[in-house]
Structures are given as C-alpha cells and as structure tokens.
C-alpha cells in the first residue's frame, strides 16, 4: 500500500466543470422555475458524458494514469503487466517463461486471490517481479462504488499484500475503469494508477496469433502491455491463450531489441 499523500488533491478540469454545472443548474432552477427543464437536461447530459468517460480506460480526463513508461526508462524497454491473478495453474508457467527470457514484469493481484494463494505472491516477488494492487474482489461494479467502497477495496487488498511482504504504490482498477471519485481515493491512499498502451484482449479471443498481432502492431519502446495470468481465453488445445502469446511476444521483443522491465524500477 502506498503512503497517504500530504499534498492537496487537485481535481481534473472536467470534474471541476461538472461541479460548476451542477451548482449553476440548481441556482437557475431555484431563481427561474421555468428554466428547470433546461437545468435538468444539462445535468443529464453531463452525467451521460461522465458515464462515457467512466467506460473509457484510455482517458486521462477523470484522473491521472500511467499509460507508458516515463521517457527516462522507455529507451529499449517495454513493461509487461499481468492482471487478475495469482492463478495456481497459469502464474507459475508465466513466471517460468519470463525467467527463460530474462524478462521482468508487474503482476496486478486481486486481494482475495492473493489471500488464497500466498505462496504464489511470494514466488512472484522472489523471482524479481513487481506486484500491484488490483482491488480486493475485482468487482465488475467497482465504478458504482462510493468513496468508502472504493477505499475499502484498495485498503483490504493492500493489507493482504502487506501481510505477504509486498509494499507497492502501483494500482490498477478492475478493467482499468475509473469513476469521478477514483482519482481522489487513489490520491488519499498514495496509489499510482497504471493503465496500458497495448492489449490483445486475451480474455476474449482464444487465437494466439490474433492476440499477438493486436499487441505487436505498432508496438514501440515505452509501451505498457496488458495480459492476464487468470481468466484468459482458452485456445483450440484448451490451454490459456496468454501462455502461447507470451512466449511468442518475448521472442518478438528480443528480435526488436526490447526488454521488459518492472514498473516500479
């Protein structure tokens, strides 16, 4: 778990504008009663826009998110990240593949799974990889939680990781989605949200060639790549597709002179 920030939180401009719009709508409706339909329409439109942003993991408008390696670390490097584990079937095989190629990665672990498989969390760390907080339960309705609910998800997962010897300020929301409240909660807990710049949708597609092509097309140094060590789709042989994708991707990276590094380095 990161250390709570001592600096004041500065909301993103879109959040400030939304707060101002709500205040103006209330004032308009109170002072000019016949204007209430327009005030209501403005609030509804604003909420629709915020909902769109909530469903857009690439957006920086609701909060800051690391989507690429900082320039000082990007030269010759990319960052492999794995979500939704640890998984007793897949995570050890991913660790073996990374070892064979001398690659380092970052694993965003779900607190409840880390609690069930503490030995895997310790093995991830022992093999030289970074670990991040992926909330306690990975709720699909995470963005609907209020301040208390989101804070509880991060804190409970952080406590589990802390008990296993992991201290990290890296965090990733379920599906990478954030609500207008998420940036404040992350700031209060001293967590850095991490997104991605490349993904292959390995939880939806069981064809390794297709998944790899989505990642490799336009791949360049500094990219943060999203894969999964739990919940990946199965290929025609019944294997988690992430395994074949990772093996081919590591060979591709070597051919291009790129190395995968930890996000906390």
φ, ψ dihedrals at 82, nearest 5°: -130, 130
* Annotation says 99 is catalytic: no
Query: CA nearest 4: which of 239, 213, 230, 187?
Result: 187
Asked if 104 and 252 touch (Cβ cutoff 8 Å), the reply is no
The residues, ordered by sequence, that sit 6+ positions from 153 with a Cβ below 8 Å of its Cβ are 111, 135, 136, 137, 139, 142, 145
* Annotation says 83 is catalytic: yes
Active-site pick, 77, 83, 187, 202: 83
Alpha-carbon span 79 to 154, nearest angstrom: 23
The residues, ordered by sequence, that sit 6+ positions from 128 with a Cβ below 8 Å of its Cβ are 104, 262
Stated as kind and residue range, the H or E segment containing 152 is helix 147-163
Active-site pick, 134, 193, 228, 235: 228
Show which residues are catalytic: 83, 228
């Amino acid at each position: 778990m990161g250390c709570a920030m001592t600096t004041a939180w500065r909301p993103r401009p879109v959040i400030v504008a939304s707060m101002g719009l709500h205040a103006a709508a209330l004032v308009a409706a109170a002072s000019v009663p016949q204007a209430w339909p327009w005030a209501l329409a403005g609030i509804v439109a604003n909420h629709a826009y915020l909902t769109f942003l909530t469903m857009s993991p690439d957006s920086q408008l609701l909060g800051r998110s690391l989507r690429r390696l900082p320039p000082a670390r990007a030269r010759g490097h990319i960052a492999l990240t794995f979500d939704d584990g640890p998984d007793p079937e897949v995570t050890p095989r991913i660790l073996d593949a990374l070892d064979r190629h001398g690659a380092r990665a970052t694993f965003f672990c779900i607190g409840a799974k880390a609690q069930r498989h503490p030995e895997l969390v310790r093995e991830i760390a022992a093999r030289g990889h970074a670990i991040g907080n992926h909330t306690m339960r990975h709720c699909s309705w995470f963005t609907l939680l209020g301040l208390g609910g989101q804070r509880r998800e991060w804190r409970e997962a952080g406590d589990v990781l802390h008990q296993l010897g992991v201290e990290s300020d890296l965090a990733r929301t379920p599906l990478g989605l954030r609500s207008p409240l998420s940036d404040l909660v992350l700031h209060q807990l001293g967590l850095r949200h991490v997104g991605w710049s490349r993904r292959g949708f390995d939880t939806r597609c069981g064809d390794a060639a297709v998944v790899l092509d989505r990642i490799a097309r336009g791949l360049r140094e500094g990219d943060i790549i999203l894969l999964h060590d739990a919940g990946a789709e199965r290929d025609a042989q019944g294997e988690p597709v992430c395994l074949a994708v990772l093996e081919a991707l590591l060979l591709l990276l070597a051919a291009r002179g790129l190395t995968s590094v930890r996000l906390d380095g």
